[in-house]
Chain A
């Protein structure tokens, strides 16, 4: 197959491309430039698409002997990922930008371009397995990225190659060393790539400006503090609340909900965070199943897995109604529910409401 390998400059995408070359595919590498003003050097595990990363990606292509290009998708990334991230927070929801990037950038913009250019598909270094169109978890549970790939449609999966699903991270690094890839020991990236200093609240504050409002106790209805911007709070958060009135029971209070219209942050005891029932928007099925359905659900990247019962939600969104066997804590609208049958990804949908 003629495959386009997305090379981030990290070790995973490098080894994925190498394995695709080994498998006899005709591979071309691309590095996605996602920042309109890339920093010269990478700092630790934070930040993205620095010139150093572009150079590292290019060196991987040199060692593999494959063509290499840089694609400037900074405008798309800003519109589809960063602006979306800010707008979701402004609307009181909790988005996952990595998932959005996979959906809108890596597997829409890039895959569409690749297919139009005559490639048969894309190969990426995500830790997840894909076989006959069925997406499953990586053997390396700690590194599993099937959650952020669950937004892909069966058509997108049909044009995708994920060579790393059967490898543990240390095996990936060993393969990189064996092949003389300079990125073998490069630090993993985590955190949100476009918030280089990791200060999400500060990033949102500068993007949205100050919007002070009340912090209200859910049990008493009393105003127990103020905040500079409701967008800096997510459901389940405890830190940074600066409450002026102590709780009646003397126990810690957590953010229960964020209401952007009234700029209200509602707080309450940990027990009030327990969610047993969830409603989602329209789903994307990667491995379609009929409803009703018993399976398991994961509500955030690297989050807990809950057994659940899925029925069709009433209403125009044609989403899922999820009944959890065990309560989930700190779940917010905007998060993505991913259904699993054992290790197999069934599909995904965005949460629109949560209930005790």
Chain B
């Protein structure tokens, strides 16, 4: 089995598994006042400090959540709502056209239900959002800007620092979905200048179902979940102590190993790209060839449907993705590729190969063993 879908979820690091298991065996609600509660609270707070240290934030800036989707929703909706207070009308949200659905759909919900207006920031053919585009769209009616750190489909890294700077010149808070970036790129919350940053555990070797929103101390955010007032009153709910411990253990290791992992992944990825191009000369390499996630390779295979390629590779034990997974499993042409100017047919011919900490050259060999005959076969499938 060759697993080339680390961008969907990467295996947990053994140290993170151990951290989860150790805490899971202990009782206690971190909000309780007795000894067991104090023990749980200590675990949560040590995890918070570890995560903050790994990502260049302060402990008070770490809000634990149920994962990337929750963090994105909390940032987009919460900051939008908070920015409507004080009698100033700020209906506009600026979001890049290549965001993950957790941001896209949260923005569209605000438009449909909360009177928000959206300006989609266009991306260039490589998937990059230019600071000039953001600057032209900004104004005093803007509630927030949200642009992802690195794209989950084509791997393009955004000029987040420059974009955040532009937003701040207009006094507008800046959120970034850094789900794909942590562990693959250097991510430092404080020096990046962003006001809110989404991360999730299972993309860098932590558990599924736990993530965090790093939220600057002076950034107002209205809660989605009301209750016990945990996490600065912004995210109520009993702490998932084992998950938080696993998240912190994974983040610490992933960030510590990031320079080495990134170098190795980039070398393996470059080898994969070179061999795919040699095997399938008309394959189109999508995304930014330089500023991209080290583990990401994304291709269009003209004349094929991504669905067919995936099925045929799966039958050969090679696990890849056509883009981002969707709940109903129905494949639509990727909005990311369409935003980059591809026609829907080319967009449907795409596959993402994503490498992670457990990838080896054997995985790439298995892919290249199967790919030529699979592409050949897929080209015979009638386009629907």
In Å, the complex CA distance between A15 and B33 comes to 56
What residue of chain B has the Cβ atom nearest to residue A113's Cβ? Answer: B381
A33-B330, A67-B315, A70-B330 given; 13 more Cβ-contact pairs under 8 Å = A67-B314, A69-B310, A70-B329, A70-B331, A72-B332, A73-B384, A109-B384, A113-B381, A113-B382, A113-B384, A117-B312, A117-B377, A118-B312
Residues in chain B near residue A291, CB distance under 8 A: none
Interface residue SS majority, chain A: mixed
Residue-by-residue, is B332-357 near A (CB-CB < 8 Å gives 1, otherwise 0)? 10000000000000000000000000
Encoded as 1 (CB less than 8 Å from any B CB) or 0, chain A from 31 to 72 comes to: 101000010000000000001001000100000000101111
**Would you give the shortest CB distance from A57 to chain B, in whole angstroms?**
10
Closest to B329 in A: A70
Q: Which of A28, A71, A75, A112 has the most CB of B within 10 A?
A: A71
Chain A CB within 8 A of B191 CB: no
Query: Is B382 a contact of A72 with CB atoms below 8 Å?
Result: no
Set A70, A73, A112, A116: member contacting B328, Cβ < 8 A: A70
Task: Tell me if A117 and B330 are in contact (CB < 8 A).
Answer: no
How far does the alpha carbon of A113 sit from the alpha carbon of B378 in the complex, in Å? Answer: 9
Give the residues in chain B near A109, CB-CB below 8 Å: 382, 384
B349 to chain A, nearest CB (A): 15
A58-94, CB under 8 A of B: which get 1 and which 0? Answer: 1000000001011111011000000000000000000
Supposing A28-B311, A28-B315 touch, asked if A118 and B377 sit within 8 A by C-beta, the answer is yes
Contact A75 B330 (CB under 8 A): no
Q: Which residues on A sit within 8 Å (CB–CB) of B377?
A: 116-118
Interface centre among A31, A58, A76, A113 (most CB of B within 10 A): A113
Instruction: State the Cβ distance, A101 to closest chain B Cβ, in Å.
Output: 15
State whether the Cβ of B307 lies closer than 8 Å to any Cβ in chain A. Answer: yes
Q: Which residue of B lies closest to A67 (CB)?
A: B314
Known: A28-B311, A67-B315, A69-B311. A116 touches B381 (CB 8 A): yes
Does the CB pair A38–B384 fall under 8 Å? no
Which of these, B312, B328, B331, B378, contacts A38 with CB under 8 Å?
Answer: B328
Residues of A within 8 A of B311 (CB): 28, 67, 69, 117
- Asked whether A76 and B384 contact (CB < 8 A) given A38-B328, A54-B329, A70-B330, the answer is yes
Does B34 sit at the interface, judged by CB under 8 A? no
Which residue of chain B has the shortest Cβ distance to A114 in the bound complex?
B381
Cross-chain contact B382 with A71 (CB below 8 angstroms): no
Docked CA distance A70–B329 (Å) = 6
Given A28-B311, A28-B315, A69-B311, A116 contacting B330 (CB threshold 8 A): no
Q: Which of B308, B311, B378 gathers most chain A CB within 10 Å?
A: B311
Report yes or no: B329 in contact with A69, Cβ–Cβ below 8 A. yes
Chain A residues, Cβ within 8 Å of B331: 70, 72
- 15 A-B pairs whose Cβ atoms sit less than 8 Å apart in the complex: A28-B311, A28-B315, A31-B329, A33-B330, A58-B329, A69-B310, A69-B311, A69-B329, A70-B331, A72-B330, A72-B384, A113-B308, A113-B384, A117-B308, A117-B378
Q: How far is the CA of A76 from the CA of B383 in the complex (A)?
A: 11
Q: How far is the CA of A38 from the CA of B328 in the complex (A)?
A: 9
Q: How far is the CA of A109 from the CA of B384 in the complex (A)?
A: 7
Q: 7 tightest CB-CB pairs across the interface, nearest first?
A: A70-B329, A116-B381, A72-B330, A116-B380, A33-B330, A112-B382, A51-B328
Distance between Cα atoms of A70 and B332 in the complex (Å): 11
What separation, in Å, do the CA atoms of A117 and B382 have in the docked complex? 10
State the Cβ distance, B122 to closest chain A Cβ, in Å. Answer: 26
Instruction: Count contacts on A: residues with CB < 8 A to the other chain.
Output: 21
> Given the complex, which residues of A lie within 8 Å of B312, measured CB to CB?
117-118
Closest beta carbon of chain B to A293's beta carbon, Å = 35
Q: What residues of A have a CB within 8 angstroms of the CB of B330 in the complex?
A: 33, 38, 70, 72
**Residue of A31, A38, A116 with most partner-chain B CB within 10 A:** A116
A3 CB to closest chain B CB (Å) equals 13
If A67-B314, A67-B315 touch, whether A54 touches B382 (CB-CB below 8 Å) is no
- In angstroms, Cα B88 to Cα A21, docked, is 65
Cα–Cα distance between A54 and B327 once the two chains are bound (Å)? 10
Separation in Å of the A42 CB from the closest CB of chain B? 14
Shortest Cβ gap from A121 to chain B (Å): 16
B-side contacts of A58, CB under 8 Å? 329
Residues from chain A with a CB closer than 8 A to the CB of B327 are: 51
B307 near A69 with CB under 8 A, answer yes
Asked whether B382 lies within 8 Å of A116 as measured between CB atoms, the reply is yes
Residue of A nearest to B326 (CB): A70
Q: Give the residues in chain A near B380, CB-CB below 8 Å.
A: 116
Which residues does chain B contribute within 8 Å of A69, judged by CB atoms? 307, 310-311, 329
User: Which of chain B's residues have a CB closer than 8 A to the CB of A38?
Assistant: 328, 330
C-alpha spacing A31/B380, complex, angstroms: 21
Contacts of A28 in B (CB 8 A): 311, 315
Closest-CB distance, A236 to chain B (whole angstroms): 37
Query: Which residue of the partner chain B has the closest CB to A55?
Result: B328
Q: Which residues of B contact A51 (CB under 8 A)?
A: 327-328
How far apart sit A135 and B329, CA to CA, in the bound complex (Å)? 34
When distances are taken between beta carbons in the complex, the residues of chain B under 8 Å from A76 are 384
- A118 proximity list for chain B (CB < 8 A): 312, 377
A-side contacts of B384, CB under 8 Å: 72-73, 75-76, 109, 113
Please give the distance in Å from A207's CB to the nearest CB on chain B.
23
A265 to B164, CA, bound (A): 68
- A75 partner residues in chain B, CB cutoff 8 A: 384
Write out the residue numbers on chain B whose beta carbons fall within 8 Å of the beta carbon of A54.
Answer: 328-329
Q: Residue of A at shortest CB range from B312? A: A117
State how many angstroms separate the Cβ of B77 from the closest Cβ of chain A: 22
Of A33, A72, A75, most B-chain CB atoms within 10 Å: A72
Best-buried of A70, A76, A109 by chain B (most CB within 10 Å): A70
Partner pick for B307 among A31, A67, A71, A116, CB 8 A cutoff = A71
Report the minimal beta-carbon distance from B272 to chain A, rounded to whole angstroms.
24
Determine how close the nearest CB of chain A comes to the CB of B101; give it in whole angstroms.
16
Contacts of A117 in B (CB 8 A): 308, 311-312, 377-378, 381
Instruction: Quote the shortest CB–CB distance from A112 to chain B (angstroms).
Output: 5
Give the distance in Å from the alpha carbon of A75 to the alpha carbon of B331 in the complex.
12
B308, B377, B380, B384: residue with the most chain A Cβ atoms closer than 10 Å: B384
- Beta-carbon nearest neighbor of A30 in chain B: B311
Cα–Cα distance between A70 and B310 once the two chains are bound (Å): 12
Q: Smallest Cβ distance from A28 to chain B, in angstroms? A: 7
Residues facing B in A109-146 (CB within 8 A) are 109, 112-113, 116-118
Complex interface: chain A residues within 8 A of B314 (CB): 67
**Residue-wise interface mask of B (252-271) relative to A, using a CB-CB cutoff of 8 A (1 in contact, 0 not):** 00000000000000000000
Shortest Cβ distance from B327 into chain A, in angstroms? Answer: 7
Nearest CB on B from A196, distance (A): 17
